[in-house]
């Protein structure tokens, strides 16, 4: 049973380009969470999704950021027109149920904007 898979592990983008981060949850998990870790900071919640639904996006910046979790395929975190401040490690986690159980994390995607 593969764990949470994130790709790519490392992503370099020039300012103004788009970044697409992918997350395949653990088998049987239908809940996905995205977190961002800026240098020297903790994990900041961004968005919580279930299949085809955004449950909570209170941590998402209002502009340039979007997320989806389609019926088929991985969850995608999309950052348009990236800026240097978007450079961070982005972690995806999945869980089997709503709360009350642990969420399992992927190894993260380290985004560097140059």
Partner 1 sequence: DQQVKQNSPSLSVQEGRISILNCDYTNSMFDYFLWYKKYPAEGPTFLISISSIKDKNEDGRFTVFLNKSAKHLSLHIVPSQPGDSAVYFCAASITGNQFYFGTGTSLTVIP
Say whether residue 69 binds partner 1 (CB under 8 A).
no
Q: Which stretch binds partner 1 (CB under 8 A): 13-21, 64-72, 74-82, 91-99?
A: 91-99
List the interface residues with partner 1, window 8-47 (CB under 8 A): 33, 35, 41-45
Of 60, 82, 103, 113, the one binding partner 1 (CB under 8 A) is 103
Say whether residue 112 binds partner 1 (CB under 8 A).
no
Q: Are 105 and 4 in contact (CB under 8 A)?
A: yes
Of 51, 56, 73, 114, the one binding partner 1 (CB under 8 A) is 56
DSSP-derived letter for residue 28 is: T
For residues 101 and 24, give the distance between their C-alpha atoms in angstroms, rounded to a whole number: 18
């Amino acid at each position: 049973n593969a764990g949470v898979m994130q790709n790519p592990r490392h992503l370099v983008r020039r300012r103004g380009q788009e970044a697409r981060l992918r997350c395949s949850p653990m088998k049987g998990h239908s809940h996905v969470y995205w977190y961002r870790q800026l240098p020297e900071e903790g994990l900041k919640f961004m968005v919580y999704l279930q299949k085809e639904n955004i449950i909570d996006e209170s941590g998402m910046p209002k502009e340039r950021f979007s997320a989806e979790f389609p019926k088929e395929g991985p969850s995608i975190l999309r950052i348009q027109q990236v800026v240097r401040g978007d450079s961070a490690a982005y972690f995806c986690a999945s869980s089997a149920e709503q709360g009350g159980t642990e969420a399992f994390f992927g190894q993260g995607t380290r985004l560097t904007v140059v």
